[in-house]
């Protein structure tokens, strides 16, 4: 008889599988995610309350009720912690881009992926989360935050280029199209996010409408330019 199935006090018993929730996370993964989110929220709150220069990593860890060592397991800096939501948003956009129909034109696919990200109920985009708009507004005035933000943006766009290249069946090192499409589409999103964060012009606080207007500008300008390009002007 297999000892793993024997009964009695000395019997061996199979190790139970880790308990998982509906998303497939086990308890350890869920705890790690919750700790990461607590650290990110603490970094945002402290930076907005006291200013970037006055905030230390130790203060962020203390606010999240974890050790400095735990902070370092998740983030390399306070700026990276505060901007973790932007990395998650980039991942969400790229996941949506991978899921778009393969016959959809690349620019339309990227725009639709952004719309899917903005509308996703299970992972609310930044306009539905507290204080993200304030933090984005601060990015342009704090060089260290700006540098961290640019690193996240470049990483996300590099992945978008690879996704578009796969969709087109091409090598992005030899074919400009993936980089040009992503540069244009992601550039529109960046411009929309910056103007939304600043709260300027006549635009309202609805980020989805804000982004759609920005993409309408891009497609409108492209349509206006087409006849002039065709005529060699």
SS3 101: coil
Answering whether pTM is above 0.95, one says no
pLDDT tens for 55-76 read: 999 999 999 999 999 999 999 9
User: Between these two residues, 18 and 42, which has the higher pLDDT value?
Assistant: 42
The answer to whether 102 and 163 have CB atoms below 8 angstroms apart is: no
Whether the pLDDT of residue 23 is over 70: the answer is no
Confidence of residue 25 (pLDDT cuts 50, 70, 90): low
User: Do the beta carbons of residue 43 and residue 144 sit within 8 Å?
Assistant: no
Using CA atoms, how far residue 202 sits from 86, 139, 208, 217, in Å, is 25, 22, 15, 15
Question: Which pLDDT score, from 0 to 100, does residue 104 have?
Answer: 95
Rounded to the nearest 5 percent, the helix, strand and coil shares of the chain are: 70, 0, 30
> pLDDT class for 178, splitting at 50, 70, 90?
very high
11's tokens: 């019997």
Q: How many CB atoms lie within 10 A of CB 106?
A: 22
Q: Which residues contact 144 (CB under 8 A, 6 or more apart)?
A: 52, 77, 79
Each residue's pLDDT tens digit, 31-40 = 999 999 999 9
The model's confidence at residue 230, banded by pLDDT at 50, 70 and 90, is: very low
Give strand pairing partners of 26.
20
Instruction: Look up tokens 């002039």; give the residue.
Output: 228
> What average pLDDT does the segment 25-53 reach?
93
């Amino acid at each position: 008889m297999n000892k793993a199935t024997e009964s009695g006090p000395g019997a061996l018993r199979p190790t139970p599988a880790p308990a998982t929730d509906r998303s497939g996370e086990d308890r350890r993964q869920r705890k790690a995610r919750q700790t990461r989110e607590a650290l990110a929220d603490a970094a945002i709150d402290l930076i907005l309350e006291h200013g970037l220069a006055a905030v230390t990593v130790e203060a962020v860890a203390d606010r999240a009720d974890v050790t400095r060592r735990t902070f370092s397991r998740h983030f390399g800096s306070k700026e990276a912690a505060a901007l973790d939501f932007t990395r998650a948003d980039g991942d969400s956009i790229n996941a949506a881009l991978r899921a778009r129909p393969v016959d959809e034109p690349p620019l339309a696919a990227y725009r639709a992926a952004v719309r899917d990200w903005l509308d996703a109920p299970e992972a609310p985009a930044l306009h539905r989360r507290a204080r993200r708009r304030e933090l984005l507004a601060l990015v342009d005035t704090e060089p260290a935050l700006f540098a961290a933000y640019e690193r996240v943006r470049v990483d996300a766009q590099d992945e978008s280029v690879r996704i578009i290249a796969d969709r087109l069946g091409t090598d992005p090192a030899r074919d400009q199209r993936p980089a040009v499409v992503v540069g244009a589409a992601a550039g529109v999103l960046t411009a929309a996010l910056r103007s939304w964060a600043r709260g300027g012009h006549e635009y309202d606080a609805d980020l989805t409408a804000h982004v759609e207007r920005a993409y309408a500008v891009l497609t409108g300008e492209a349509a206006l330019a087409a006849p002039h390009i065709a005529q060699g002007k």
